[in-house]
Chains A and B, each alone.
Chain A
Amino acid sequence: MIHRFLPLIVTIAVLVVGFLLCALQFPNFASLRVVGNLLTDNAFLGITAIGMTFVILSGGIDLSVGAVIGFTTVLLAVLIEQGGWDPPAAFAAALLAAALFGAAMGAIIHVFRMPPFIVTLAGMFVARGMAFVLTTDSLPINHPLYGELNDVAWRFDGGGKLSLPAMVLLVVLALAVVLAHWTRFGANLYALGGNRQSAELMGVPVARTTVAVYTLSGLLAGLAGIVFSLYTGAGYSLAATGVELDTITAVVIGGAQLTGGYGYVLGTFAGVLIQGLIQTYITFDGTLSSWWTKIAIGALLFVFILLQKGLLAAWTGRGGEPAEA
């Protein structure tokens, strides 16, 4: 049991130890306010990264998610501010557009047997380009509902609160864990990532699963776009540039393998929080350049990949029967 969850346990341990170290250095750190902000600030990243986890589990990759977030914020701003749409209708339209976009990429990947890297790279340029076609400016969204939604929060004593984006993140997380481990779709994803040909021989619906996983990633990127526009109150075609790489980082730190078949949604969640924690630490410190975030995350990513490689070698280098499973 321990063996299989080791990457996950290591990631969570790094998160906990990191948090304790921060709390030792800054007395105010260990508070519900900091935790609440951590969740709120990283909600869009977390939601996207959960979608990315599914794609990577299936043996693929989705480079278009950052661009889809950017496109979604612009689409919302244009629909609400210029088109006079109600925000809920605009949300539905944005989710539909993002999901269809993902489905189209999944279909191309499956039907033409194209590498997901190339297809979603093209998708990234298309989505970013479409955002620029809609508008090149940053469009503020001033609809009253945005203010109300931003006020929705579960408040705790001492100033901490669980904002709407944080709640969305936690709900998506719970649903994703169920999807990964208690549905046939989840099992099929792991199977597909393990070995496509074997999965096909064992009756996994490869076409349906491939299209579905990119649809899901697109849908979650769209949802992240909505959260992002709530968070920033604007639509901007350059929003969330490079987020695809941040999400991939979170997935890998979370213990998943880029080749597919191994990984956990919870690990990704911890990976997102570790990145957020480093950022928060640098904000608290106040003297460090924010680029130290990137350096710390880079170093961490490297260590985690080495760790995984070692662990995988220890697992699969099977010495006859399992020693003690």
Chain B
Amino acid sequence: MSDEDRIEDVPVVPARRSFFERVSVVWLIPILALVVALGIAWQTWAERGPTIDIHFRNAAGITQGETQLRYRDVVVGTVEEVDFANGLDEVLVTVRVTQTVAPYIDEEASFWVVRPEVTTQGVTGLETVLSGVYIAGQWDNEPGSEVRDFTGLAHPPLNEGVQPGLSFYLRTSGTSLTGNTPLLYKGVEVGRVGPARVSEDGVTVEAEAFIEAPYDNLITESTRFWDSSGFSFTLGSAGAALNFDSIASLIAGGVSFDTFVAGGTIAEPGDVFEVYPERGLARASVFNRRDGVELTLSAIFDEDVTGLAAGAPVELEGLRIGEVTGLNGIADAGSPGDSAVRLQVVFAIQPARLGFDGEGSETEALEFFAQQAALGLRARLATANLLTGGLKVELVRPDDLAAGALIEPPGEYPILPTAPSDLIDVGATAEGTLARIDALPIEELLQSVIVFLDEAGSLVGSDEVQQVPGELAGLLGNLRGVTGASEVQALPAQIGAVMTDLERSLDQISTLVAELDEAQAAERVLAAIDSVSAAAAGVETSAEGLPELVAEITALAEEARGLGLPALGQRAEAVLASAQTLVGGEAAQALPAQVGAALAEVTSAADAVDELIGTLNEAQTAERIAAAADAAAAALQAARPGLEGVPRLVDELTAVAQEARAMGLPALGQRAGELVASAQALVGGEAAQALPAQVNAALAEVTDAAGSVEELIGTLNDAQTAERLAAAADAAAAALEAARPGLEGVPALVDELTAVAQEARGLGLPALGQQASALVASAQNLLGSEATQALPAEIDAALGDVSAVATELQAFVAGVNEGGTAERLAAAADAAAGALEAARPGLEGVPALVDELTLLAGEARSMGLPALGQEASQLVANAQALIGGEAAQGLPAQASAALAELTAATTSANRIIAELSDAEVATQLTAAIENAAAALDSVETSAAGLPELVDEARALVARANSLPLETFGAEAERFAASAADLVASADAQALPGQLNGALAELSSALADLREGGAIANTNATLDSARAAADAIAAASADLPALVARADQLAATASSVLTGFDTEAPALREARSALREITRAAQAVSELARAIERQPNSLILGR
């Protein structure tokens, strides 16, 4: 047991691991792959379709394994094998088809190879160029019996794609059938014609045709086909005709068809149709078959029927209804009186074309024609073709009818009546034309033409004509350049502007010329300028004589020192005393105040005038004021010679003084001392002291006024016052002419006085002193007379009157201003102007008076000086008395007042002028100033003539000097005695009284003026102020020289006076007086310098 229990050492065999333990899961993968592969292989095998064999003539392009079989362009198989059939006759292509289509491939299936094909109809199978050919299959959609062997078609079938349609055959016996062409209907391709082939019998050409479904209804039994390829050209009686269907068919060819007659049964497949060469024939064939009945008529023409042939159309109203079928000549025996052979035209008419259809149409047509013939239907010949001369038969209704009817002779054709033909014989016409051309004188014409051409050639060939084109071109170029220039383009506008300006300028010029014609301004201005020139020359000459005179006086003074001074001094003292009393008088003292009052009045008057002038401006009375200014200018011009005589008078007084110097100086010195004292008192008075200031103020005012005046002048120019200025210039000219004699006399007077002085020096001085004493005594007497003494009072009164006048004037002007009576004032101004014009002759007498005085002085010179001295002494005495008068004493005060008034007046004038400036009259004044400048130029030239005059005067005096002096002196003595007598005479003594009377009268005159001529006076005042300013300007030029001479005179006087006792009161007074004078002279000098520095200040007011 134990042995048995012993476990044998059993070889332990490890348990075999299970299959799944040993085999990896990975084994699934190869198994899966295997399954997949097997599955694919089985599926491929199962889906393989059957193979079919197709026999082809060749296998061009068929590749084994690649070439496809397509049905409706869907791949349904692939060529598996390409091999030869038995005997190498054909190519056997084995195609494996898909199972889907395999049942349908039955015995009706057809196969062909699709290759690229280029025909006239286009390119087909283009895709096969790249992809290679393929085999197209076609079969119906019904499964059939299985057939596996086919014969491929050489060409694709016509109904490729198995479209519904109609297949039929076309046939022709001619050559008009072209294969592989489109089938056209009205130019649209509706089908195709297959390749043409000759029929089996070789007689006809046949082609299969296929028309697509919508159009197969168009094909009926009566459808006609014709070849529409190419074109046809026909030249017949209907003219030339070129026919072709379309360009496409012209190139590609084609068969067209049309159904000309409606109706007919639709064609069956397989029907055969004839193809006609052209449409006409095709159409005709329809009728040929249809109108079985024809109506044959005839017509007999008398005319030549050349050109009419069988087949010519017969037209009714242009519609072809038949054709000529025959021409016969007949000899109509039946026609009376006519045996000629006539032409019978037989023509066939198709009633169908007239609408007669069906049975009995022939009879109906015949009836129709009979009816129409009765109504006028006629047959006649007409030209069918102009070129060929072909004729046709027309059935028309001509207007000029002859009776006729359709004749129906038995057994013959019905005869239609005829009408004259409507032939157009082209040949005859052309012949006639040629004949006329032939008759033309062509030879002569050609000759003339040749001659003409020769001449024309020579003309054209000439150089001038050859140059014409070039010149023309250049001319045209220039013209183009000129006209194209922008300046020329702008020319019209500029011309327009210029024309406008010209028009305006011409208007202005005409106006100006008219004014100038009326005024004759130029002549007057020239005359005025001449006068001014002459006057200036005279002044210049006289001025030249002054130094000489001063020298003489100096010499005389030296000699006078040697004289017996005492007696003369006493006399002079008396004179001076009188003068002192005169100057010291209350009236004299009051004179400045009065003058001031008068000036104040004038000022206020000027204010009024200011307003008045504004009113006047408004009243447009400028013309009249201008006229008044004219007159005032004339008056002032007349007055100026008299004023210019004053220097001469001063000269003479100087001479008198010189001679007085020869008198007894002591007495004379005392008198002079007194006189000087009086003068000093006079001068030293407040009014006199205020004079320079007033003068200065007045001058300032005048300056301002001048500035305003300048503007006023411009304004006046604007106011077209040129004429009046011209008139004023005229007046000035006249006045200057009048004054010139006086001016011319001044040099002579000066010369004379100089000569007198010279001669006086040569005389016995003591006697002269005595005579002078006597003269002084006389003068003293004269001056001491009551009338003379009353003269200052009279002047004072006159000035008072002037003041009153001014006051009145002011009131008057105020009234005028208030009353708006500007027009009346203007009229008054006109009147004043007239008055002044009238007064001018009287003023013009003043120069003559001066001349006479000069003559008198000259004669006095020739008198015996001693007696002359006595007389002078007396005269001096009288003068002293006169000067010593209270009235004379009051003169300075009045002058002062007058100056104040003048200042005020100028202020007012200034205002007036400012207003005038506001009135824009400045430009006129400017023009006036220019005229004045021109006038001054003329003055310059005229001044050149003065020296000659002076020379002549000097020569005259020289001759006088050459006379025997003793007799001359005696005569002078005598004359002086006479003069003394004269002076001492009652008449002479009455002179002061007369002067007083004159002054009184002047006062009354002023009083009158204040009532009547206020405006004129105002104007005159303004003009005078202007003239005075001018005169001051002119005098200011001479002022330096004058001052220098005054200095000299003062120096001389100083040296004279040094001889006197310094202690003498008279001398002291005289010295102080001299100092005063010197101071005054210095003031004047300063003024002169100021003016000299700024001459314009006189005008411009600065």
Chain B associates with chain A: no
